[in-house]
Amino acid sequence: MLVVEGPPRLAAPILAERFPHVRCAAGSLLVGLERRETPESVLAYCRERRIGVLASCVVSRSVAAPQPVTQQEVR
């Protein structure tokens, strides 16, 4: 998540040139990263494109393997 200087809707298309999973949410930007990308690469791209970042936060979601479906006998 990024909080940028200025309207997030202006920064979103610039970030989307490099990071395809960008969306605006509640005054901030959510940037979905693929395996080869890092939070540092997002911040470096923001510096390169002169997008001022006021705050950033990394949110990690672990993807668990699906649990097998078990059937229970009801009596």
Model confidence at 3: pLDDT above 70? yes
Amino acid 75 reads R
pLDDT digits (tens, 9 = 90+) for 30-67: 999 888 889 999 999 999 999 999 999 988 766 665 66
Higher pLDDT, 58 or 12: 12
Q: What's residue 59's pLDDT?
A: 81
The number of C-alpha atoms within 13 Å of 66 and in the hemisphere containing its C-beta is 3
